[in-house]
Structure 1
Amino acid sequence: MIRRKLCFYGAGSMAEAIVRGLISAGLAEPADIVMFNRANAARLNELRDRYSVRIAADDKAREQALREADVIFLCMKPKDAADALRRLSPVLRDGQLLISVIAGLSIAAIEQLIGRRLPIARTMPNTSSTIGLGATGISFNDAASDAQRELVLNMFRAIGIARVVDESLINAVTAVSGSGPAYLYYMMEAMIDTAVSLGLAEDTARALTVQTVLGAARMVLETGEEPAELRRKVTSPGGTTQAAIETFERLDFRGAVGQAMRRAAERAGEMGAELERSIT
């Protein structure tokens, strides 16, 4: 149990994923969690009823929740971040830990907007966090203590795995795990469509594809073997898998994946720059 008062500024799907993970793992009591958003009262009531957390429904309650919090999760939308953080500044007190899940917003920009130096963790989770299988990259500023760093890691481990990276590598994390689920969904789409074109019923094609992807990931985790070695084990000389792999190689599948990931990282940098220009 982390025994901290937690405040979630924003109540979207990622905020809910973190809350669910913390409560399910026994790391936080619902009574120690306050959530609020800009205006969606129905969403807040839904979260309160589902997780027994507290909600802050008016300005006075929000300010009180922010002042009392030991940890504030910044879960607002990027377009709302600048105004929200400027308004937040007068309410903050020394020692509070800020955890940002705002895509593209650097630690330096957050410090500039709040106008003071506080411990800050910048995170890049992914959508699989909503089922407890997330992959999160985390960067810290120098104001974060060792205890605060461990606290953040423990909280994000409640919704998957977490790795500390230099902030300069956050865009690489975006390219790998932030956008990564969509790459696999895209390949799954292609596998299902092709299976149907080969004559399988759509529900059968879907079930076989999903189980194949799940089984492949579990094989890597449970055997500890490298993907390349597992691939070699199922690729018999002159067999069906070899024929498929040779086709991938002829079409430069590996190169296409590399180009796509580099473009994702590049776009993450562009979006961050656009966001910070809008702030200034």
Structure 2
Amino acid sequence: MVEKLAFIGSGELAESLLKGFLDKKFISADHVWMNNRSNTERLTHLENEFHVHTTHDKKIALQDADIVIFAFRPADTQAAIDEMKAFLRPNQLIISLMVGVPTAFIQSASGIDLSVVRAMPNTSASIGLSATGIAAGAAVSDAQLELAKQLFETVGTVTIVKESEIDVIAGLSGSGPAYLYYLAQAMQEAGVREGIPEESAAQLVLQTLLGASHLLNQSGKSASDLLKAVATPGGTTQAGIDTLNKQSVNDAVIDCVHQAIVRAKEMSAPFSK
């Protein structure tokens, strides 16, 4: 049983996870501590919204915590670990959400044989629909990895990967919701340009994306099969798909994901020297 869960860092992703964990009753609010370095307004919001404990003092946040979630900026890693290492314990499960920071670096910087699991969720965790990849560091036991898996299963699906693959997860599903928001925005703009009121266009696009994702999830058919079924030769859908192909949108999407992955790898470079 998890008696205390501490977030070090309290940004949007941390809030999304917090909301998901509480909604799914993985842990109760009085067993959660939220910490950041200096943003009192942010902590006040979280305390008022979720009734969790908040503090700027890392010692208080970390004391007796069973699970510690590192949710601060990768650039702050060294400074944050320097501030925390006197209060971290080898038996704590450390879950790092930081893009590009290897588990080995966290262990080395702390000087402690910490059990570190890297996790790459996305903001859909706030409604229990995250796609999360997790990877175990060298000191993580099977029981600890299972605990991390159970934690993130409360906010969506979990895929266990090698740590070398976690940057791919960052670019594919970690950033993935933004790609769909981009598509939704473009489709809504297209509707408005063709004369549909903005509110109506937004509603139509929202339901279209929702229905398509549910159908893809529930039909047992691949995306390719569903595309072929709806894009009949000479029809309106095929005309649209032909335009996407002429504009090399398929290649653009692939490169979009690739560039996000490249950026994740670039972010890891300073920590791998």
Given the two structures, how large is their TM-score scaled by the length of structure 2?
A: 0.93
Within a 5 Å distance, the mapping from 1:1-280 to structure 2 comes to 2-57=1-56, 59=57, 62-274=58-270, 276=271
Separation (CA, whole Å) in 2 of partners of 1:18 and 1:172: 21
Residue deviations 1:79-112 (CA, integer Å, cap 9, x gap): 2221011221121222111111112211111112
SS class of match (2:228) = helix
* Residues 1:205 and 1:190: Cα distance change in structure 2 (over 3 Å): same
In structure 2, give the amino acid aligned to 1:53.
V
Aligned equivalents of 1:186, 1:43: Cα separation in 2: 27
User: 2:99 touches 2:167 (CA, 8 Å); kept in 1?
Assistant: no
**Alpha-carbon separation, structure 2, partners of 1:35 and 1:123:** 18
Gaps of at least 5 residues in structure 2 are: none
CA–CA separation in structure 2 for the residues paired with 1:127 and 1:50: 17
Would you say the 8 A contact 1:97–1:120 is kept in 2? yes
Q: Secondary structure at the match of 2:85?
A: helix
Residues 103 and 137, structure 2, Cα contact 8 Å, conserved in 1: yes
Q: Deviation at 1:216?
A: 0.6
Rounded Cα–Cα distance in structure 1 between residues aligned with 2:48 and 2:79:
29
Residue identity matched to 1:140: A
Is the 2:89–2:112 contact (alpha carbons within 8 Å) kept by the matching residues of 1?
A: no
Residue 247 of structure 1, CA deviation: 2.2
3-state SS of the aligned residue for 1:161?
A: strand
Change in Cα spacing, 1:56 to 1:196, as seen in structure 2 (3 Å) is closer
SS at match of 1:68: coil
CA distance in 1, matches of 2:161, 2:198: 41
Deviation at 1:269? 0.7
Confirm or deny: 8 A CA contact 1:132 1:160 kept in the other structure.
yes
Per-residue deviation, 1:142: 2.5
Counterpart of 2:11 in structure 1: which amino acid? G
TM-score, normalised relative to structure 1: 0.91
CA contact (8 A) 1:13 1:130 kept: no
Q: How many angstroms does 1:173 deviate by?
A: 0.9
Structure 1 vs Structure 2: percent identity of aligned residues? 38
CA shift, 1:178, in A, is 1.5
Contact 2:4 2:65 in 1 (8 A): yes
Q: Which consecutive unaligned segments of at least 5 residues does structure 1 have?
A: none
CA distance in 2, matches of 1:6, 1:131: 20
Contact between 2:16 and 2:124, CA under 8 Å: does it hold in 1? no
Per-residue deviation, residues 124-162 of structure 1 (Å, max 9, x unmatched): 121222332211111111211111111111111222222
Q: Distance in 1 between matches of 2:184 and 2:90?
A: 48
* Contact 1:100–1:121 (CA under 8 A) maintained in structure 2: yes
**SS where residue 47 of structure 1 aligns?**
helix
Supply the distance in 2 between the matched residues of 1:43 and 1:245 (Cα, whole angstroms): 44
Separation of aligned partners in 1, 2:127 and 2:151? 15
Following TM superposition, by how much is the alpha carbon of 1:41 offset from its aligned partner in structure 2, in angstroms? 2.3
Contact kept in structure 2, 1:17 and 1:159, CA below 8 Å? no
Q: Does the 8 Å CA contact 1:171/1:269 hold for their aligned counterparts?
A: yes
Partner SS for 1:90: coil
Q: Which SS does the other structure have where 1:38 is aligned?
A: coil
Aligned residues: 273
Deviations 1:195-226 (A, max 9, x none): 22222122222211111111110111122221
Shift of 1:64: 3.6
Kindly report the root-mean-square deviation, in angstroms, between the aligned alpha carbons of the 2 structures: 1.8
Q: CA deviation at 1:73?
A: 0.9
Deviation of the 1:50 alpha carbon: 2.2
